[in-house]
Amino acid sequence: MKTDDLKKIAAQAALTYIEPKLNLESIVGVGTGSTTNHFIDALGTIRHKFDAAVSSSAASTARLEDLGVHVIDLNAAPRVLVYVDGADEVEPGKAALKGGGGALTREKIVVAASDEFVCIVDDSKYVDRLGSFPLPVEVIPMARSFVARRLVELGGDPVYRDGLITDNGNVILDVHGLNIDDPDALESKISNIAGVVTNGIFAANRVNTLIVASAEGVSIR
């Protein structure tokens, strides 16, 4: 089965999972990326069953609005019932590595503001330990070289993601070679480097519900 087919299956399973929770006052948080795009397409089919969506990126906002979904600013949302997004990696403790699409800061904000984080992945993203996928770190542009040196001191090999400016006007360093044995500690340590906006480890706000699609079917953990 093709990877994109598994992404669609995971996205549809997420819709099936959240639909009974929705009412006409519900606000749904929506992430960014290829798997999430399939969820957005599915969500558009039940847009009459909830109030609005909060989006983590300009790209997701445009896709939602094209489907007739009402999108509001997070500041206008008194409560976000559930946040649905993909991940680049998720480990058994439900810490995730995200940000391959460059939207990690807004994703992390909406996750923190939501009652439940539902993560949807194909089985290739379910790993024993985070770190095979390069860790994205969003950085204020003037601090790029300084932050890169600090990341080298932590054992990483940071690479500037040339040509990408985030929705917040910042840049991304993709850090290769990290052994993320303690996601909570490393998330905090990197975020405390001056000039770092945030990093792609989601451990402080872990996944609550993990939906994994494989050739054998869908598991909800």
**CATH number of the domain bearing residue 214:** 3.40.50.1360
| 107 assigned to active site | yes
Q: Are residues 157 and 190 in the same domain?
A: yes
Tens digits of residue pLDDT in 7-58: 999 999 999 999 999 999 999 999 999 999 999 999 999 999 999 999 999 9
Please state the pTM of the whole predicted model.
0.96
Q: What is the pLDDT of residue 179?
A: 86
Domain that holds residue 66: 3-127+204-220
On the CB side of 45, how many CA atoms lie within 13 Å of its CA? 9
Total structural domains within the chain: 2
3-state secondary structure of 6: helix
Q: Are residues 114 and 55 in the same domain?
A: yes
Q: What is the pLDDT of residue 22?
A: 98
Q: Are residues 48 and 25 in the same domain?
A: yes
Q: What is the pLDDT of residue 199?
A: 98
Q: Are residues 42 and 63 in the same domain?
A: yes
Q: Are residues 104 and 83 in the same domain?
A: yes
Q: Are residues 139 and 208 in the same domain?
A: no
Q: Are residues 27 and 98 in the same domain?
A: yes
Q: Which of 107, 138, 153, 187 is catalytic?
A: 107
How many beta carbons lie within 10 A of that of residue 50, not counting itself?
A: 22
Q: Are residues 102 and 162 in the same domain?
A: no
